[in-house]
Chains A and B, each alone.
Chain A
Amino acid sequence: MKNIITILLTLLIIIVSSCETDVTNDISLVETPPRLVIDGGLERNIKTPVTTQQIRLLTTAPFLSNKDFPFVSDAQVTISDGTNSWVFEHTNNGFYENSDILPEIGNTYTITILWKGETYQGTDMLLAEVPRFDKFYYEFEEETVFADEGYYVKFDTTDPINVQNFYHYRLFKNNEFVTVPDPGNSQVLIVSDEFFDGKQRIGVKPNEDIFFEIGDIATAQQLSISEPYFDYLKELFTQTGNLGNPIVGNPPPASIRGNLINLDNSSNRALGYFYVIDVEEDTVTITEN
Chain B
Amino acid sequence: MKKQLVYLFCLFCLGSYAQEKFSISGYVKDNLSGEKLLGVNIIIDNTYGTTTNDYGFYSIHLKKGIHQIEISYLGYKTISKEISITGNQKIDFDLTEELAELDEIVISSNTTRKNIESIEMSVISLKGETIKKLPAILGEPDVLKSLQLLPGVSSVNEASSGFNVRGGSVDQNLILLDEATIYNASHLFGFFSVFNSNAIKNAKLYKGGIPSIYGGRLSSVLDIKQREGNTKDFGGEIGVGLISAKALIEGPILKGNKEEASGSYMLAGRRSYIDLFTFLTDDFKNSSLFFYDLNLKSNYNIGTNNRLFLSGYFGRDKFELDKFLGTIWGNTSASLRWTSILNEKLFLQTSAIYSNYDYNLDNLRTGSEFRWKSSITNYNFKPRLSWFINNNNTLKTGIDVTYYNFKPGKISPFKGSTINEEEFSQKFGLENGIYADLKQKLSDDLSLQYGVRWSNFSRLGKEDIREYNTGNPLTYNAEQDIYEENEVTQVTNYGSGKRIKTFNGLEPRISIRYLLNESNSLKLSYNKMYQYLHLISNTTSPTPLDIWSPSGPYLSPQSADQLALGYFKSFKKGKYDLSLEAYYKKLKDVTDFIDGADLLFTEEIETQVVQGKGRAYGLEVQLNKNEGKLTGWLSYTLARSENKVLGVNNNKYYPNNSDQLHELNLVGFYKLNSRWDFGVNFIFGSGRPVTYPTGRYTQNGLVVADYNNRNGNRLPTYHRLDISATLNPKKGKKGKWIFSIVNLYNRQNAASIYFNEIGETNNVEIATGMTQATKLSFFGIVPSISYEFKF
Contacts and interface: CB of A to CB of B under 8 A. Distances in A.
Interface of A: 4, 7-8, 11-12, 14-24, 26-27, 29-32, 34-35, 37, 39, 58-66, 69, 144-146, 148, 177-182, 194-197, 199-204, 208-210, 231, 233-236, 238-257, 261, 266-267, 269, 271-273
Contacts of B596: 231, 234-235, 238, 251, 254, 256-257
Contacts of A243: 754, 756, 776
Given A15-B277, A63-B695, 8 more contacts: A4-B325, A19-B778, A63-B692, A195-B419, A238-B596, A245-B752, A247-B189, A253-B693
Contact of A60 (B539, B697, B772): B697
B420 A257 contact: no
Nearest to B601: A194
B691 A32 contact: no
Contact of B543 (A7, A197, A234, A249): A249
Interface in B735-790: 748, 751-757, 759, 765-767, 769-782
B367 interface: yes
Contacts of A32: 694-695, 706, 708
Interface residues of B, number: 95
Q: Which of B287, B419, B539, B693 has the most CB of A within 10 A?
A: B693
| In the complex, the 3 A-B pairs of residues with the closest C-beta atoms, listed nearest first | A244-B754, A254-B595, A235-B596
Contacts of B697: 35, 37, 39, 58-61, 69, 271-272
B727 interface: no
A181 B702 contact: yes
A37 B420 CA distance: 39
A242 B753 CA distance: 11
A125 to B, nearest CB: 16
B772 A249 contact: no
Nearest to B708: A32
B80 interface: no
Interface stretch (B156-164, B209-217, B572-580): B156-164
Given A11-B284, A240-B757, A177 B701 contact: yes
Nearest to A4: B325
B694 to A, nearest CB: 4
B698 A246 contact: no
Contact of A257 (B538, B539, B595): B595
16 contacts: A17-B782, A18-B779, A62-B695, A64-B771, A178-B766, A181-B756, A196-B418, A196-B419, A201-B367, A236-B700, A238-B596, A249-B539, A251-B593, A254-B595, A257-B595, A266-B480
Interface string B422-445: 100000000000000000000000
Nearest to B603: A194
B259 interface: no
Given A17-B780, A23-B775, A240-B702, A250 B756 contact: no
Nearest to A59: B697
Contact of B693 (A4, A63, A252): A63
Contacts of A250: 539-540, 752
Contact of B243 (A15, A19, A179): A15
B190 interface: yes
B366 interface: yes
Contact of A210 (B159, B419, B541, B765): B765
A145 B543 contact: no
Nearest to A244: B754
B156 A246 contact: yes
A31 B695 contact: yes
A252 B691 contact: yes
Given A20-B775, A239-B704, A27 B782 contact: no
A271 B756 contact: no
B779 A16 contact: yes
Contacts of B498: none
A64 B773 contact: yes
A242 B759 CA distance: 12
Contacts of B691: 252-254
B748 A21 contact: yes
Contacts of A269: 480
Nearest to B654: A252
A254 B710 contact: yes
A210 B771 CA distance: 21
Contact of B752 (A181, A233, A244): A244
A21 B753 CA distance: 9
B24 interface: no
A72 B278 CA distance: 52
B136 interface: no
Interface string B310-334: 0000000000010111000000000
A117 to B, nearest CB: 19
Given A61-B697, A66-B771, A240-B703, A261 B480 contact: yes
A26 B274 CA distance: 35
Contact of B138 (A16, A61, A180, A261): A16
B479 interface: yes
Given A15-B274, A146-B324, A261-B480, A8 B699 contact: no
Contacts of A241: 756
B773 A60 contact: no
Contact of A16 (B278, B597, B705, B778): B778
B664 interface: no
Contact of B782 (A7, A16, A60): A16
A246 B777 contact: no
Given A179-B702, A249-B539, A17 B480 contact: no
B772 A24 contact: yes
Contact of B767 (A19, A179, A199, A256): A179
Contacts of B600: 249
Contact of A236 (B283, B365, B704): B704
B696 A60 contact: yes
A58 B752 CA distance: 30
A234 B595 CA distance: 12
B411 interface: yes
Contacts of A248: 189, 539, 543
Contact of B707 (A15, A34, A253, A261): A253
